[in-house]
Copies of this chain bind each other. A is one copy, B any other.
Amino acid sequence: MPAAVLHNTAGDAKDGEVLELVELFFFAYRDFVRDADRLLETYGFGRAHHRVLHFVDRRPGLSIAALLDILRITKQSLNRVLKQLLDAGLVEAREGASDRRQRLLFLTSLGETLARELAALQSERFRRVLGEMPVPARDAAADFLFSMIDSEERTRVRDHLARARNRAQRAAEPL
Q: A-side interface residues toward B, CB under 8 Å? A: 1-6, 8, 10-11, 13, 15-16, 18-32, 34, 51, 54, 58, 72, 119, 122-123, 125-130, 132-135, 137-150, 153, 157-158, 160-161, 164-165, 168
Contacts and interface: CB of A to CB of B under 8 A. Distances in A.
A26 B48 CA distance: 13
Interface of A is mostly: helix
Nearest to A134: B140
Nearest to A16: B168
A25 B29 contact: yes
A24 B58 contact: no
A157 B24 contact: yes
Nearest to A129: B147
Contact of A20 (B18, B21, B161): B161
A23 B161 contact: yes
A141 B139 contact: no
Contact of A149 (B3, B27, B135, B140): B27
